[in-house]
Amino acid sequence: MSVDGVIHYDTAGTRTFTSAPLMPLPSQAAAVCARALCAAVALLAMQAPGSTRGAEPSAESPPTDGARIAIKVGDSPIFQSELDAAVQRAAQGRMLETGALVRLTAETVEQLVDERLLRREVEAQQVTVDEDEVTEVVTRMRSQLSQRNVPLETFLAQSGRDEASLRSQIRLEAALNRMLLPKLTSSALEAAFTKHRRDIDGTLVRASHIVLRPDPGRGPDALTHLDRRAARLRSDILQGTVGFAEAARRHSAGPSRRQGGDIGYFPRRGALDEEFSRQAFALAKGEMSKPFATAFGVHLILVTDVKPGDARPDTLRPVLEKMVVQDAIREILARGRESTPIEYAPGVPHFETDADRDKPGRRVVVAEAETRAKSGL
């Protein structure tokens, strides 16, 4: 897909358009972990593009006395110094416009809250990790880094961490590994395969699409206008007033308009924008999507063919393990958010809702002093 511009979201979740693409933030890979543990760590890093996170100070290494509390998760405080350091790591030295920085801060707040909720679950289930196990992982990391002539201390300093916070994170990851491995039963893996088969078994989807790009001159109403225009197009196509291919030739801003919108076959992941692929693979052959937005514009998709994959569950075990672990962690976080009071200090950006955390456009809110006075933060 060609890119003429990028849609991004301001502090209220309002979509706006910029004429040049925003550089994506790269994700940070875990250095040492088992397959199931990698899945847990990946979810700790969350699905937000570019979110990088490491260990935050734990009870063993609290920030300096008198530091401002930015967030309280139950009785566990997250200090402003922790939040600032985590946002700085996520920004990776880039200068961000105000709206992008506020949204990145909200993503980081969500990650820090998730980490606290996972720690609470580990404590509630009384899962313990031997310090020798933690030391073994640190030693392994040190050895791997030394092979690249990078001292562990240098690596930690560059990422804004220290060994105490690293050990705290390793301890949490090991506890999660111990807690979640029993969930990787044959029945759970089979259920995950049945649920996600089309996404992981090598299935290919062929689709045609129409992409509408916003006019920057329209200001904040540009995206609303596109949504309405796409909805009208969809209605006309469904009613038979115009065919999808003809509508693509007339209205699509993408190069595929010359082929009536056809973009050929593609797999679930790795070929196209994630949201685009997710929407396409949710459709049956002959079905058309509702209007949806990606960074490239507002789209309509028509699935024209499906080639089923032939991968078997036994060849997909690592992928299925990851899915089972991710679902388990999502359940833990959902329960934790329902049962744990979470308070934000005035001025701390956070998402209005925990729903649809893997989708763009979630609304960011900033607590005001008068609305948070009762919290004592």
**More confident position, 370 or 95:** 95
CB-based burial, 210-247: b 16+ in 10 Å, e otherwise: bbbbbeeeeeeebbeebbeebeebbeebeeeeeebbeb
Dist. CA 53–CA 105, nearest whole Å? 12
Is 220 inside any structural domain?
yes
Interior CA angle at 23 toward 106 and 108, to 5°?
A: 15
- Residue of higher predicted confidence among 201 and 216: 201
pLDDT range class, residue 290, cuts 50, 70, 90: very high
pLDDT of residue 369: 52
pLDDT, position 158: 80
Domain presence at residue 23? no
- In the chain, the percentage of residues whose pLDDT exceeds 90 is 59
Summarize the confidence of residues 88-106 as an average pLDDT.
88
Tokens of 19: 């004429």
More confident residue, 300 or 98: 300
CATH number, domain at 158?
A: 1.10.4030
Q: How confident is the model at residue 287 (pLDDT cuts 50, 70, 90)?
A: very high
Range of the domain at 97: 31-191+317-375
Block residue for tokens 């029993």: 182
Question: Does any domain span residue 20?
Answer: no
- Assess whether pLDDT exceeds 90 at residue 4: no
What pLDDT is attached to residue 289? Answer: 97
- What number is the average pLDDT over the span 323-345? 93
Q: Are residues 270 and 138 in the same domain?
A: no
Domain stops at, among 307, 336, 359: 307
Domain assignment present for residue 8? The answer is: no
Residue 60 has pLDDT above 70, yes or no: no
Residue 9 lies inside a defined structural domain of this protein = no
* Number of structural domains the chain divides into: 2
User: Same structural domain for residues 328 and 302?
Assistant: no
**Cα gap 47→29, rounded to integer Å:** 13
65, 161: one domain: yes
What is this structure's pTM? 0.66
pLDDT band at 371 (very low <50, low <70, confident <90, very high): very low
Shared-domain flag, residues 37 and 120? yes
pLDDT at 259 exceeding the cut of 90: yes
Domain boundary among 307, 341, 366: 307
| Max Cα-Cα span within the chain | 70
The pLDDT tens digits for 145-156 are 999 999 999 988
Look at residue 351 and tell me if it is in a domain: yes
Is residue 166 a part of any domain in this protein? yes
**Residue 60 or 178, more confident:** 178
Residues 175 and 215 both lie in one domain: no
Alpha helix segments (H runs only) across the chain: 35-45, 80-91, 98-124, 131-146, 152-158, 163-180, 186-200, 222-239, 244-251, 274-281, 317-339, 369-372
pLDDT at 132 over 50: yes
Q: Do residues 165 and 253 both lie within one domain?
A: no
Q: By the 8 A CB rule, do 74 and 120 touch?
A: yes
pLDDT value of position 202? 93
| Whether pLDDT at 292 is above 50 | yes
Residue 361 binned pLDDT confidence (cut-offs 50, 70, 90): low
Mean pLDDT of 233-246: 96
- Residue 347 region, left (φ>0) first, then alpha (ψ -120 to 50), else beta? left
In this structure, are 54 and 156 located in the same domain? yes
Same domain? For 83 and 137 the reply is yes
Asked whether residue 14 is domain-assigned, the answer is no
What token pair was written down for 180?
């979640």
- Same domain for 264 and 341, yes or no, is no
**How does residue 257 score in pLDDT terms, banded at 50, 70 and 90?**
very high
Same domain, 239 and 333: no
Average pLDDT, the chain: 80
Which domain CATH number covers 303?
3.10.50.40
Residue after which a domain boundary falls, among 285, 307, 329? 307
Q: Are 156 and 295 members of one domain?
A: no
* 90 and 104 Cβ atoms separated by less than 8 Å: yes
- Please check whether residues 230 and 278 belong to one and the same domain: yes
